Amino acid sequence: MKAVLTIAGSDSGGGAGIQADLKTFSAHGVYGASVITAVTAQNTKGVYGIFEIEPSFVELQIKTVLEDIDIKAIKIGMLSNADIIQCVASTLKDKPSIPIVLDPVMVAKSKDILLKPEAIKVLIEYLLPITHLVTPNLYEASIIAEIEISTVSDMKKAAKIIKSMGTSNVLIKGGHLQGDAIDILYTGDEFVEFTSPRLSNIHTHGTGCTFSASIASNLARGFDLKRSISKSKEYITNAIKNAFPIGKGISPVNHLYNQSFV
């Protein structure tokens, strides 16, 4: 069994972050290890508190996992502050053989801020250059690229700007545009569009975490980047389609929709 590591925050409501990643890993038949960067008091209605882990302990978690387990891919999610970002980047910079999928989590579905503004520059300077793929949504891509995004053409322009910052590949998620859900991959050589019908289900908490964790899982399983994204696009579409209400707010996607239980 291939092993994948998630470096992210904990969602006490279970719909996003570490919890979503581990469920996604299990759904893909890979072994999940985890490094927690922050603990949130969170449910389907919002984020009520954030407790950040000391960077030195984040580093210890990463080193402890990597020295023992043969990790085939790494997914990075919520990092919360500049010191944690710099710590993660420094600890992983000497591991170029492990593909890193970075979901630059900046804001929760409830609109609560999850990445401090001063940390964005540090993410761009230190973390983007060591990532195999970065997966911003439109809001995140507009902040990183410093342009407004309202069309597919804007997405492609932003992808070029973000690619120039050092990352190997950029996948901008177009879920907030009108019409079909179009994601744009830019490799530096080509643009590739991944399209799926727009769904009416409002239960989409943890979509970004789940999608990036799925891509990391598929990379670990040996699929190339385009095939990994294609398979993950199908997975997240079905996870949204099969989501159901849990709690009183925006419920999570159904990570285990394709599993049978006795």
The residues that are catalytic are 173, 204, 206-209
d(CA 180, CA 73): 30
Q: Using CA atoms in the order 253, 255, 259, 262, what is the torsion angle rounded to 10 degrees?
A: -80
Q: DSSP states of 33-99 as a string?
A: EEEEEEEEEEETTEEEEEEEPPHHHHHHHHHHHHTTS-EEEEEE----SHHHHHHHHHHHTT-TTS-
Provide the sign of the torsion angle of the four alpha carbons 235, 100, 14, 197, taken in this order: negative
Token duo for residue 221: 């399983």
Identify whether the C-beta of residue 234 lies closer than 8 Å to the C-beta of residue 197: no
Query: How far, rounded to the nearest angstrom, does the alpha carbon of residue 116 sit from its chain's CA centroid?
Result: 17
Q: What is the DSSP letter of 252?
A: B
**In this structure, how many other beta carbons lie within 10 angstroms of the beta carbon of residue 150?**
12
